[in-house]
Structure 1
């Protein structure tokens, strides 16, 4: 299946290849441990897709197509599944039985079943090691049932609207250059976005958390370990799953990444797809292409990481950020952000740091 537009970066260009190699060396080295000795974060290629109507059969069918493509691409033999019980190898008898049970249960009665589980690479034995340490591949799916999606709107804050659903995934840096053309991560990303038809999606370099994301928190100082790298490398996206659960995203999106996919429903705030396409065509750095229900916007020819220590900003990211700023959530607490020394124990400092992080590209 080919998307209408594959967002790949140049190959065979000596300068681009050298930049890619240097970027991948940095990403491969970013394996961070918290004060408990657990790998609280890795760096790699990340995809975040956020969508409405997770209680509908059509949306769940699309989500399973994305999950199946992830499993096919990575290989079931590399993955473990965690859903409701201790994690098990996906290719094992228990793992196969769980998938065979879970998939039809979420499709035959989508309003009655939540669809939440993790897939990640690595050995699930012992379970605590697998859960507490960031693995090299990961997919996290969170789609609630009907009552969960509308809980706050019906009982807590009327008018807040539905809770959003999301699928997020991550691939390690070393894997990217070893892939055949059909599995180039730019092409793979557009395939997944076309399959899912999200409200919005972002993809590029980012932080890959552990399955149990609580190891990025003030107790283990994971936030503070990560924070200096986020300050140095602005192209490194860090977004906690707790943030993605926010109702803010049922009418807005998060900060951009190298690839930003914006649905027609959201583009109406900017005058529609064609109006935004014209702005992209008039820009210095941006390019755009149709990807299903979304307009995909690429911030430059190469997925830059930037390096503030070297004075290397990301002007293409700045241009994309300013273009899509009217669609951005105004303020969003993010459990992956926390400046030393206090981390998120100081909520005011936490809020300021989160706001600064969301708007970090605006001045480039």
Structure 2
């Protein structure tokens, strides 16, 4: 039985923290120099997994997508799948799913599952794609040719490329949900369904459907960077990073919830050894979630505030515990310090590495 990560707030301090956190999250709506909303803040889930060309993985992925649509409501979503975006609940949206879903299941080695779901009106398409919407799901599940492309033809031994599903929910929606749609519980359901190699969930950056709007051209990176420096609990990770070979044997930085598969836990001594470390810790708790051990960094998903001297010691404990299975270095197109952003590759690499290890000293 999976552990319910939804712990009710029971003290005035936690209630105050909730109000303050939600106020910050709702206010974080950032525009790049072209006036496009390149980022919002909300609840984000990132799930990364192997074997995207297998039928079993595809079937699990569609269950996750279906659950997301059920929770948000297909009438509130639009879909982009290689053509102009259309309303998911409309005739064209239903036809598009009816055509492509069977193809991805009947021949998973030959069909990639790459599509975006997001809220908002899909017309005009440019406005929808270039602005961060309230809800978003990005599915990128590779076919066999892409998964093994680099291993076969570029860097033998590098191993497979990864597949992922990432999604985001706005703060205002979280506050209005009944207990069965609590985001902690919903996240656990998603992870149980998907059985990822690793997953992280908590507060994070919700990008535009076209993530290039957070890149160096519109200086979205530079606009976002000061907020990432101030609020360490805000996770920022570009989709380009998630398909990386760096993550076929390691994970990214932790979030409030970190889900670690048994394949990774073996590098830490196994599930029970890690569970004992969690039990001996000051802030952490853990529970079995399918093929993963779910690790929670404290009772509340804090943002922290470096301007106020508010660090996140629970996140620090989780980061140090999982550091041996963290990727050593990872370029991340959501990170880019002023004035040059990611155009200065040396400064970009240093900033990306510092961001990925930001909790280690808390």
**TM bucket by the smaller chain?**
over 0.9
CA distance in 2, matches of 1:351, 1:9: 37
CA distance in 2, matches of 1:12, 1:89: 41
Aligned 1:202-221 pairs, distance under 5 A:
202-221=200-219
SS in 2 for 1:47: strand
Aligned 1:235-250 pairs, distance under 5 A:
235-250=233-248
Give the match for residue 138 of structure 2. 140
Segments of structure 2 that go 5 or more residues without pairing to the other structure are none
**Which of 230, 250, 257 is the matching residue for 1:232?**
230
Post-superposition shift, 1:177? 1.1
CA distance in 2, matches of 1:277, 1:22: 32
Provide, for residues 61-95 of structure 1, a one-character-per-residue CA deviation record: whole Å limited to 9, x for no partner: 00000000000000000000000100000011000
Provide, for residues 35-66 of structure 1, a one-character-per-residue CA deviation record: whole Å limited to 9, x for no partner: 00000000000000000000000000000000
CA distance in 2, matches of 1:246, 1:53: 14
CA distance in 2, matches of 1:317, 1:266: 19
Give the match for residue 97 of structure 1. 95
Give the match for residue 111 of structure 2. 113
CA distance in 1, matches of 2:252, 2:10: 33
Give the match for residue 49 of structure 1. 47
**Which of 168, 171, 191 is the matching residue for 1:170?**
168
CA distance in 2, matches of 1:51, 1:292: 14
SS in 1 for 2:148: helix
Aligned 1:58-69 pairs, distance under 5 A:
58-69=56-67
How many matched pairs?
Answer: 362
CA distance in 2, matches of 1:222, 1:333: 16
Greater than 6 Å deviation, 4+ residue runs: none
Give the match for residue 37 of structure 1. 35
The answer (yes or no) to whether the contact 1:80–1:123 under 8 Å persists in 2 is yes
CA distance in 1, matches of 2:173, 2:20: 15
Post-superposition shift, 1:15? 2.1
SS in 2 for 1:205: strand
The answer (yes or no) to whether the contact 1:206–1:237 under 8 Å persists in 2 is yes
CA distance in 1, matches of 2:7, 2:278: 18
The answer (yes or no) to whether the contact 1:10–1:16 under 8 Å persists in 2 is no
* Alignment root-mean-square deviation, CA: 0.7
CA distance in 2, matches of 1:164, 1:142: 9
Aligned 1:145-156 pairs, distance under 5 A:
145-156=143-154
Give the match for residue 156 of structure 2. 158
**Which of 122, 125, 145 is the matching residue for 1:124?**
122
Q: Does 1:258 align with 2:281?
A: no
SS in 1 for 2:286: strand
The answer (yes or no) to whether the contact 1:42–1:208 under 8 Å persists in 2 is yes
Give the match for residue 363 of structure 1. 361
SS in 2 for 1:218: coil
CA distance in 2, matches of 1:4, 1:346: 45
Aligned 1:336-355 pairs, distance under 5 A:
336-355=334-353
TM-score by length of structure 1 reads 0.99
**Which of 79, 82, 87 is the matching residue for 1:81?**
79
Give the match for residue 187 of structure 2. 189
Provide, for residues 114-145 of structure 1, a one-character-per-residue CA deviation record: whole Å limited to 9, x for no partner: 11100000000000000000000000000111
CA distance in 2, matches of 1:113, 1:232: 42
Provide, for residues 131-164 of structure 1, a one-character-per-residue CA deviation record: whole Å limited to 9, x for no partner: 0000000000001111111111111111110110
SS in 2 for 1:302: coil
Provide, for residues 319-358 of structure 1, a one-character-per-residue CA deviation record: whole Å limited to 9, x for no partner: 0000000000000000000000010110000000000000
CA distance in 1, matches of 2:124, 2:11: 45
Provide, for residues 266-294 of structure 1, a one-character-per-residue CA deviation record: whole Å limited to 9, x for no partner: 10000000000000000000000000000
Give the match for residue 290 of structure 2. 292
